[in-house]
Structure 1
C-alpha cells in the first residue's frame, strides 16, 4: 500500500462526509477498512473506542488519528478539513431550505425516512465490528467472554435501559479495563 498524501486523505474524508450525511461512521468503516485498507477491522474498533473516550465527535477523533498516522499533522488537518468543509456549506443550504419548507409534510416525511436509513447503517456497522471482534474467538479464553459480556452490558445499558452514554461509559470502561488487566495477569 502506498502511503496516502494529505490531498488523498482530504479527498477520502470529504467523500465520507458527503456520503454519510447524518452519520459518517458506517461509511468511514467501509472506506477505511474495506476500500482503502488503511486500517484493519480491529484497528478501526480500537480507534473508535479511543475516540469515544476523547472529547468531540468520534468521527473527527478517528479522522485525526488516521490522518496523523499516515501524514502527520498535515494529514490530521487534511482529514478533519475533509470532514468539515463540504458539510458546512450543505448545512447552511439545508438550514435555509428548512426555514422555507420545514412545515411541509413531504419535507417531514423525507427526514423521517432518512432517519430510518441512518439507523440501519449504524446497526450494520455495529454488527460488522462485533463480528470482527469475535472472528477468531476461542470461547474457552476468558478475554473473549469478557468482550462479549461488556458488549452485552453496553447494549443493555444504552439500548434497553436507555441510560446516557456517559453513564454507561463511566461504569463499563473502568470495569472492562480492570477485568482485562486481571485476566491478562492470570494469563501472563
Structure 2
C-alpha cells in the first residue's frame, strides 16, 4: 500500500492582545477622563498613557502614539484634542463632548480656587522655588513617558532609522536652534508625512 503522508496544520502565532471594546457608557467615559485630569499634575500625557493603554486597554501602544501625534499637531491643548478624538471614536460627537467635559470640569474649579489662593503668595520666594521644583518633575514625567513610547517606533511605517533621525532633528530645531514650533511642524512634519505616504504606497504595491 502506498504510504500516505499526514499533513500537520501549521502553527500560526497567536495574534497580539487587542484592546478592550472601550467605555461601555458615556458616564464611564466622563469619569475616566475626569480621573485623568485630576491625576495629571504637570501634564496628562504620562497618566493618559498608563490609564488608556496599560490599565483600561482602550488603545494599543501604537494607537496611542498615533492619536497623540495627531493631538500634538492640531491647534489647541493636546490633551483636549486627545479627549475629543477618543470620545468621538466610541460615541460620536456626544462622546467627544462628554470626554471634554470630564477633562475640564473639575480641574477648572480647582484651578480657579488655587488661583485665588495663589494670588496672595505668588511673590513669596518659597512658593516660587516650589513651582520651579514642580516644573522639573513635570519635565521628568514627560521624558519618561516619551521613553516608554519609543517601543512603538519599531512598527512605524517610517522605519526605525528615519523615526530616530526625525526625533533628533526635532530636538535640535526646538531645543538648540530655538526655531518656532510652527515651522518645525511644517518642515519636519511635512517631510515625515510625505515619506510615510511614499512608504504606504510601496506597501500597497507589494514592494519589499
Match of 1:80 in 2: 100
Tell me if 1:174 matches 2:190: yes
Identify unmatched segments of 5+ residues in structure 2. Answer: 1-19
1:159 maps to 175
Matched positions, count: 184
Structure 1 residues 180 and 7 mapped into 2: Cα distance closer, same or farther (>3 Å)? Answer: same
Of 54, 57, 62, 1:37 maps to: 57
Runs of 4+ in 1 over 4 A off after TM superposition: none
Q: Is the 8 A contact 2:33 2:99 kept in 1?
A: yes
Structure 1: runs of 5 or more not aligned:
none
**1:145 is matched with which residue?**
161
* CA-to-aligned-CA distance 1:29-53 (integer Å, 9 cap, x gap): 1111111111111101110111122
TM-score by length of 1: 0.89
C-alpha distance in structure 2 between counterparts of 1:39 and 1:142, whole Å: 21
Q: What TM-score does the superposition give when structure 2 sets the normalisation length?
A: 0.81
Change (3 A) 1:112 1:184: same
Higher share of residues assigned helix: 1
Q: After TM superposition, give the deviation of residue 186 of structure 1 in Å.
A: 4.5
**Please, which of 11, 14, 21 is the counterpart of residue 34 of structure 2?**
14
2:120 aligned partner = 100
**Root mean square deviation of aligned Cα:** 1.9
Deviations 1:107-153 (A, max 9, x none): 1122111111100000011111122213x58xxx9722222211221
